[in-house]
Chain A
Amino acid sequence: MRTRRQEIQRFAVFALLPLSIFILVLVVPFGRGVYFTFTDWNGFDITKFVGFDNYIAAFQNDDFWQSMGLTLAYVAASLVLVNVVGFVLALLVTMPLRGVNGLRTAFFLPNLIGGVILGLIWQFLFGQAFPVLAEATGIPVFEENWLLDTTTAFWAMVIVTVWQMSGYMMIIYITALMSIEQEALEASLIDGTNAVQRLFLIKMPLMAQAFTISLFLTMRNAFMAYDLNLSLTGGNPYGTTELISLQVFREAFSFGNFASGQTQAVLMFVVIAIAALAQVAISKRYEVQR
């Protein structure tokens, strides 16, 4: 039996430091942030409490809802595409082929480039390289600068996100594919399954945990996307591609509406929390106990 004293000591040694850091840099600022949403905070000081006025204003703000809608569309599109591409890449590079290690590295590489640099690279590609490509090939898709139209600029962001993120998801899927028990696969071979059946009925259920993690990571990254948004489109054309983070930032710092920007940030947190919890709960159901 450990004594209470020992328990406290163990807690102090292992948990006190991380816990206090967690409280200091996360809980306290977050609590302070929520507190600000009920005040008329102007970035400098607070003169009075305003109750739920900021929340009411946020709900009535068209720009906020437009950004929220765009963000949800962006999350949905990148959630599907990043994971489909990541999974397909994982299947490809786990096949016994020449040079798969080189391919793995190549697919993973974009993930090592920071969002801002990535945005600038693709800005160049869309703006300068596409027209050259259009001239050389005559393919009409490349003729227009994608970043100058709302719809194509949106898809440009999705494409760059997929390019950046799918390599990372690929690594997770590779690990999961490799950890599938050979017995299960051999048994299914004896049962006479074909490759498609093995993929959907054996491999995918056995690696459901990897999907839970990958979907969660993709979703979280997409909701919080900021640097790519800023450096690739900057919210343009005409401020129509502002994802929620950029919208919150501009509301606070460009427009000087700190309290309402903070309120939008809190609402964004609530939406992300609900979406993430729902996603994890749903994905968990598909996980198989081994």
Chain B
Amino acid sequence: MAVIRRKVASAAGIAVAATLLFTGCAAGTGTDGSDCAEVTEITWLGTIKVEIQDQFKAAIEEYNATNADCVAVEILESPQDVPFLQTVTPLYEAGKAPTIMTALQEIPDMAPRVLDWSGQPLAELAAPGTLDVATIDGKVAGIPITAEAFGLLYNKAVLDAAGVDVASITTRSELADAFGAISETGVSPIHFSGLWWSLGAHFTNVYHANAAEDIEGRLAILDELKAGEKDLLSDPVFENWLDTFDLLKANTIDTASIADTDYDLGVENLAVGDAGMWFMGNWAEPNLLTATPDGEFGVMPVPISDEAGTYGNDSISVGVPFYAMIDAEQASAEQQEAAIAVLTWFITTPEGQAYWSGPVEDGGMNFIPVYDGFTVSPTTFMASEIADYIAAGKTLQWVNSAYPAGLQEAYGAAAQKYYDGVSDRATFAAELEAAWAE
């Protein structure tokens, strides 16, 4: 009994302390020294990305502490491998919808429930084209968080040693030659990971993004697939893509097997220079630089055509990995305003921008800015390369943003089979087509 009572007492103590702490927060003074008469409490679901969660938490903590907008943000943590809809549907059901959410493929599911950003200052600041994916039936459901790019990441030291200049690789054959040159130096040309999401979302995008020169054409192919009318094998771009798939497979470190699904192994191989390249995206750059702090890691296109100058051969896939949405169903008008205020702080103020786009080692989240008026920009090698690609307009669409929920899993399963040598080209194509039937 005594034990139980002590536990109750200490629990009560903690509760009291927590209340004190909370009211202490709420009654804090603003930067201008004035007290907040009323603090608007809002919630933010998740930490955008697990890689930068500490920086994100620190940023929110500072925002809450300064209390400039009289807004208190509470982070609702959610495990990273749990589907977004699993987290969000019970919260809505319980009447505790998060005020701010970040997602990509679930935007169409969320669109009827979230704030329309049309005409909002932040939406006006967003880079041209970045709102397209988040615009559902004329409603701007989300605003971009950052841009990410994927392609062939390379270790500059390895390529320099092999005498390979990435700028000179403009066709698939030249890529094969480069692989040969890297091999001769005793290093594996590439690590081509068998991760389902890398194959299913990113590598399949290389086909879809190259498939047509304009967005209408690319979306038309998705529609044809959905209607079951597309014959992939008769598409020369698809054939080029498969040839590239084979090329990467044939040159990967060890052998291509679905045992090779360890992200960290890819980081290690490229970082220490056991492999010259890695099909991945710039989110790996902090990992690579942690492993080899003085290394230089860049990103180059995946040239799938053998004719230089073909659309897409010189471009990397750039897109917005997450959009910020604000609940408009359960959040009050004040809470919606408060949510906009938080995002505005991140995107337009010097302190916010330092957190948003500052270097990871300085506590920033290293996001590539996709808004006008950013004074802070990432300084790393890969990030500046990506900025150059964006400036030169050499970017491919993330068609995978337009994949319906669940498609990338089905694509990933089919691609893993092909990668593993379990299916041939015809089966692979048939399985990609069948993935749309569900």
Give me the interface of A with B, judged by CB distance under 8 Å.
42-44, 61, 63, 127, 145, 148, 236-240, 250, 252-258
Contact = CB atoms under 8 A, between A and B. Distances in A.
A128 to B, nearest CB: 11
B112 to A, nearest CB: 8
Given A42-B109, A254-B406, 13 more contacts: A63-B438, A148-B257, A237-B416, A237-B420, A238-B413, A238-B420, A250-B409, A252-B85, A253-B83, A253-B89, A254-B83, A254-B85, A255-B438
Contacts, number: 58
Interface residues of B, number: 24
A256 B106 CA distance: 8
B92 interface: yes
Given A42-B109, A44-B92, A238-B416, A253 B85 contact: yes
B414 interface: yes
A256 B259 CA distance: 29
B109 A237 contact: no
Nearest to B417: A238
Contacts of A240: 413
Contacts of B417: 237-238
Nearest to B110: A44
Given A42-B109, A44-B89, A44-B92, A255 B406 contact: yes
Given A44-B89, A44-B92, A148-B258, A256 B406 contact: yes
A250 B406 CA distance: 8
B416 A254 contact: no
A255 B438 CA distance: 9
Interface string B423-438: 0000000000000001
Nearest to A63: B438
Interface of B: 83, 85-86, 89, 92, 106, 109, 112-113, 196, 257-259, 405-406, 409-410, 413-414, 416-417, 420, 422, 438
Nearest to B406: A255
Contacts of A258: 89
Contacts of A127: 259
Contacts of B259: 127, 145, 148
B93 to A, nearest CB: 8
B109 A239 contact: no
23 contacts: A42-B109, A43-B89, A43-B92, A43-B109, A44-B89, A44-B112, A148-B257, A148-B258, A148-B259, A236-B196, A238-B258, A238-B414, A238-B416, A238-B420, A238-B422, A239-B409, A239-B410, A250-B409, A253-B83, A254-B409, A256-B405, A257-B406, A258-B89
The 10 A-B residue pairs whose C-beta atoms are closest, nearest first, are A255-B406, A238-B413, A253-B86, A43-B89, A239-B413, A253-B83, A256-B405, A254-B83, A238-B416, A238-B417
B161 to A, nearest CB: 32
A252 B85 CA distance: 9
B82 to A, nearest CB: 8
A258 B417 CA distance: 28
Interface of A is mostly: loop
A61 B434 CA distance: 12
Q: What is the predominant secondary structure among interface residues of chain B facing chain A? A: helix
A127 B92 CA distance: 40
Contacts of B410: 239
Contact of A254 (B112, B257, B405): B405
A257 B83 CA distance: 13
A61 B438 contact: yes
A44 B113 contact: yes
A249 to B, nearest CB: 8
A236 B112 CA distance: 34
Contact of B258 (A237, A252, A256): A237
Contact of B109 (A238, A250, A256): A256
B199 to A, nearest CB: 11
Contacts of B422: 238
A122 B83 CA distance: 25
A257 B410 CA distance: 15
A43 B409 contact: no
Task: Give the most central of A237, A238, A239, A257: most B CB within 10 Å.
Answer: A238
Nearest to A127: B259
A145 B262 CA distance: 14
Contacts of A145: 259
The residue in A63, A252, A253 that gathers the most chain B C-beta atoms within 10 A of its C-beta is A253
B338 to A, nearest CB: 23
Contacts of A43: 85, 89, 92, 109
Nearest to B431: A238
A210 B92 CA distance: 46
A253 B88 CA distance: 10
Nearest to A255: B406
Nearest to B92: A44
B92 to A, nearest CB: 6
A258 B92 CA distance: 14
Contacts of B113: 44
Nearest to A44: B92
A203 B89 CA distance: 53
Most B CB atoms within 10 A — which of A43, A63, A240, A252? Answer: A43
A264 B86 CA distance: 17
Contacts of A236: 196, 258
